[in-house]
Amino acid sequence: MSRNGLQIIVGAFIYAIAINDFLIPHQIGEGGVTGLTTIGYYALHISPAYTNFVLNGLLMLVGFRFLEKQTVWYSAWAVLWISIFLKLPPLLHYHTDQTIIPAIFGGVLMGIAMGIIFRGEGTIAGSTILARIVNRYFGMQNGSAMLLFDLMVAIPSVLIIGLQNMLLTIVELAVSAVVLNNFLSRFGAKKAVTIISDQTTEMTAELSRILNQGITLINAEGYYHQEKRPMIYVICTDKQVAEIVPVISSIDPKAFVVIDNVRSVKGTAISKLL
């Protein structure tokens, strides 16, 4: 089994825990197809495993039209395992009258689970397929697009679960969207270090030795003094930044250094930055 396949199974397991142990025991809804499965359970006592499998299977047909085939197959794999794990009994048997707690922690687990599945090249189908389509063609973040579609199901659920639980559902959806966006934003996270120094040659040689990677020199000219000198530009990890900052200070204590957060991948994976 591929690494992506195993990753999706882990995400599916966490997703099922969020539903079985936090949302359903406290009558908190969800958005998209998952929201429909919980409503079906609350109103008609239909197992979420069945409605999740059937409704998401139909949405897969939409995915085949707009998404890469590999993403659709991995999504089918995710839906299969989510349905299997939803058939399991609750593992934590957690219940509290402070319903804001399961709303928040359910949202955190949902966001983490979807992030893991997304990183495994899949989706949980439902609104995530629609979110992936919006992300691909309009650049909206996955978590934000999902929240938009999920609210279309969550708000009408007030007729089944009541106003308080509907509001808790919105809290859970907002938390999961924030967690998902932050989880995915860590993909390709790096630091961009720009250095302006009088000791460019020595600085570049030492940084190249420490980092053992390419370093870019950019020809620059200061407007005020009309002085030309190269800027050193390098992409590195947080750990590497901690290693090179003392070196920069030791070579040129007067060096001007700018460190920015960036995200970078090779061209074949550039779509993952969206």
DSSP secondary structure string, 136-203? HHH---HHHHHHHHHHHHHTTTHHHHHHHHHHHHHHHHHHHHHHHHHHHHTTTEEEEEEEE-S-HHHH
pLDDT given at position 105: 93
* CA dihedral angle for residue 123, residue 129, residue 74, residue 24, rounded to 10 degrees: 50
Alpha-carbon dihedral of residues 60, 61, 67, 69, nearest 10 degrees? 80
pLDDT tens digits for range 63-87: 676 667 787 788 888 888 988 898 8
pLDDT for residue 263: 65
164, 218 Cβ separation under 8 angstroms: no
> Given its phi and psi angles, is residue 262 left (phi above 0), alpha (psi -120 to 50 degrees) or beta?
beta
Mean per-residue pLDDT, 76-101: 86
**Which pLDDT score, from 0 to 100, does residue 270 have?**
46
Per-residue pLDDT at 12: 92
| Mean pLDDT of the chain, nearest integer | 81
Q: What is the DSSP letter of 89?
A: P
Looking at residue 113, its pLDDT comes to 92
Classify domain 189-273 by CATH number. Answer: 3.30.70.120
User: pLDDT band at 1, cuts 50/70/90?
Assistant: low
pLDDT for 66 equals: 67
**Prediction pTM value:** 0.67
Give yes or no for residue 200 having a pLDDT over 80: yes
User: With 90 as the cut, is the pLDDT of residue 123 above it?
Assistant: no
Whole-number pLDDT of residue 46: 81
Band of residue 226 on the pLDDT scale cut at 50, 70, 90: confident
50-59, 76-85, 124-133 — which one is most confidently predicted on average?
A: 76-85
Residue 273: predicted pLDDT: 44
pLDDT tops 80 at residue 274: no
- Residues of the chain within CATH 3.30.70.120 domain(s) are 189-273
